[in-house]
């Protein structure tokens, strides 16, 4: 169902599953405590975590457990790459609902997208559980028409093009002293010194 931005945001806050464009690929999203809706719709295995997306880094730090040294390292990477196509996998705080990452609840992937519509939505909903818009294991859907056909229950925006770059975000996991690249996207982290 195509909705205005205002109605879509209201539905998202009420726990409905929505879709919106990002700088990479279109997202499926819901408030974190309703994340099981995404798993069910995508037919996604619970060993594949969701990403917590927000309008700005400050909205995400409460969901992360960190010491001062780590925070300084992470903040440097964030300052250079956010908003943008970089997902950081960091230690999760107890604020993260277990359903976001059922198999490894001690970590959480976080990202701030570089897309004006995504930013507008997330600024009003707060952090959202997100993933790419596609059935698990299938190619990512790139248009609103494809999303509506595959996920008729998902709420979409009227009058909006959904196509992003088509390349998923780089996913980097912090492993005590360095970044482990779990998925290489357009952002490269191999030149960073700590």
Q: Residue 192 above 60 pLDDT?
A: no
pLDDT bucket at 159, cuts 50 / 70 / 90: confident
Q: Region 79-84: what's the mean pLDDT?
A: 96
Q: Where are the alpha helices (DSSP H) in the chain?
A: 5-13, 36-42, 68-81, 116-125, 144-150
Q: Region 116-129: what's the mean pLDDT?
A: 97
Torsion of CA 24, 161, 100, 1, to 10 degrees: -160
Q: Residue 172 above 50 pLDDT?
A: yes
Q: What is the mean pLDDT of the chain?
A: 93
């Amino acid at each position: 169902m195509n909705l205005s931005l205002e109605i879509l945001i209201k539905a998202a806050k009420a726990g409905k599953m929505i879709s919106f464009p990002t700088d990479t690929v279109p997202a499926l999203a819901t408030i974190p405590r309703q994340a099981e809706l995404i798993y069910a719709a995508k037919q996604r295995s619970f060993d594949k975590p969701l990403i917590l997306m927000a309008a700005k880094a400050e909205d995400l730090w409460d969901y992360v457990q960190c010491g001062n040294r780590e925070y300084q390292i992470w903040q440097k990477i964030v300052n250079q790459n956010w908003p943008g196509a970089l997902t950081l996998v960091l230690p999760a705080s107890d604020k993260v609902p277990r359903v976001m990452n059922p198999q490894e609840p001690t970590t959480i992937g976080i990202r701030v997208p570089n897309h004006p519509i995504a930013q507008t939505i997330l600024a009003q909903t707060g952090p959202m559980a997100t993933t790419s818009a596609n059935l698990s294991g299938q190619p990512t859907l790139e248009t609103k028409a494809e999303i509506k056909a595959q996920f008729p229950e998902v709420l979409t925006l009227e009058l909006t093009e959904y196509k992003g770059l088509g390349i998923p975000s780089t996913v980097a996991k912090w492993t005590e002293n360095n970044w482990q690249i779990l998925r290489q996207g357009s952002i490269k982290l191999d030149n960073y010194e700590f």
